[in-house]
Amino acid sequence: MRYAKICKSCEQQFPCGKTSNVITCSIECRLAYREEKKGKANCLHCGKYFTFSPSTKKIYCTYACHLASGGAWRAGIAAQKALMKYGAKKDANHHEIVNALKEAGAYVLDMSHVGAGFPDLIVGAHQKTMLMEIKNPKTAYGRRGLNKNQIKWKEQWLGGPYSVVDSIEAAIRAINSMADPKPPEVPIEGVVGE
């Protein structure tokens, strides 16, 4: 048995199946309906009239107009403001590792806001400095290890030790590895000059 629907374009009744998702009676009506639903605007940069999909809200006719109007620059400023307001995203274990390092007597400078592959922490302990990247083993991203930017930064680094840690224990081991081993005790047999 056939059912009927009202066409969304010409508003005429047309036959269809019971479970049909069709909303127009013909290809011509479908194209007309799509055209009618498109968003319409004048480009804010060049003033040209253009149409766009109803699922997007555009204010420039092309990406070139977006760039020419300073859109990429404005997006960068907005991203910087958001970073300043909300801070850089940190691993879930970041704060606990920082606190544990401080409790162990290390001086910790949080550099996670720098980005571009720079390590999360600069750690001072035992009169030495270490760069430390924190990874969270509970996330797929953390288990993958260093990303491309971090690998490139590490390869170019010519300074002191660089360590990747994923737990409090690993961080403490890293700073303890910077301690100078005690020189072996040598028994004194006599006093010099006698």
Q: Which domains does the chain have, with CATH numbers?
A: 3-37 (no CATH), 39-87 (no CATH), 94-176 (3.40.1350.10)
CA distance 123 to 145: 20
User: Measuring CA to CA, which residue among 176, 173, 97 is closest to residue 135?
Assistant: 97
Question: Can you say how many angstroms the Cα of residue 112 is from the centroid of all Cα atoms in its chain?
Answer: 12
CB 126 within 8 A of CB 101: no
For residue range 90-147, what is the model confidence (pLDDT) as tens digits? 777 888 999 999 999 999 998 888 878 889 899 998 888 999 999 888 888 778 888 8
pLDDT of residue 92: 78
Query: Which single residue is written with the structure tokens 């909300």?
Result: 86
DSSP string, 115-175: -TT--SEEEEETTEEEEEEE--TTSHHHHT-S-HHHHHHHHH--SS-EEEESSHHHHHHHH
Question: Residue 66: helix, strand or coil by DSSP?
Answer: helix
pLDDT of residue 85: 57
CA distance 190 to 13: 116
Residues of the chain with pLDDT below 50 are: 1, 194
Q: What is the pTM of this model?
A: 0.50
Question: Which amino acid, one-letter code, is at 60?
Answer: Y
pLDDT of residue 1: 45
